[in-house]
Amino acid sequence: MCREKLPLSSFYPRSDRDSGYTSVCKLCRRVPQDGEKKVKQRAYRLKADYGLAVEDYDRMKEAQGGVCAICNKRETSKSAAGKVKNLAVDHCHSSGKIRGLLCENCNKALGLFKDDTEVMKVAILYLEKL
């Protein structure tokens, strides 16, 4: 956003990007954005990352009752600005197919398990033993 040439240490790591880093520097991410710019940025990210229009996202969220597709709870994680985050768009990393909307915790859990259902089954068995 600032268009400055900065060292990589000025950016957050992001494994799903070719560069390995976010495209917006740490300082710019902290600057409050005006409402219109924020809305446009969200629309751009949804379309660029998932091929979704904001209206498509809103329909998915409404169809899920505004809750996570896994734990059935509303999102409670907050942004750096203190606002409750939107549900994350969950997708298959190999096919790109969108599966649903997840809270931050469930989305991170799937990511940490690398979507490996066999490892997840073993984890369930492990938990059931306790």
6-44 pLDDT tens trace: 888 888 888 888 888 888 888 777 766 667 777 888 888
**Helix (H) or strand (E) run with residue 99 in it:** strand 98-102
The total number of structural domains that make up the chain:
1
pTM: 0.71
Let me know if residue 74 belongs to a domain: yes
Q: In whole angstroms, give the CA distance from residue 51 to residue 54.
A: 10
Parent domain of 65 = 50-129
Let me know if residue 89 belongs to a domain: yes
Let me know if residue 4 belongs to a domain: no
pLDDT at 44: 87
106-123 pLDDT tens trace: 999 999 999 999 999 999
Let me know if residue 42 belongs to a domain: no
61-74 pLDDT tens trace: 999 999 999 999 99
Helices 35-50 and 54-63 pack at an angle, to 10 degrees, of: 80
Q: 76-106 burial by CB neighbour count: b if 16+ within 10 A, else e?
A: eeeeeeeeeeebbbbbeeeeeebebbbbbeb
Q: In whole angstroms, give the CA distance from residue 21 to residue 8.
A: 8
Contacts of 96 (CB under 8 A, 6+ apart): 51
CATH number at residue 107: 3.40.1800.10
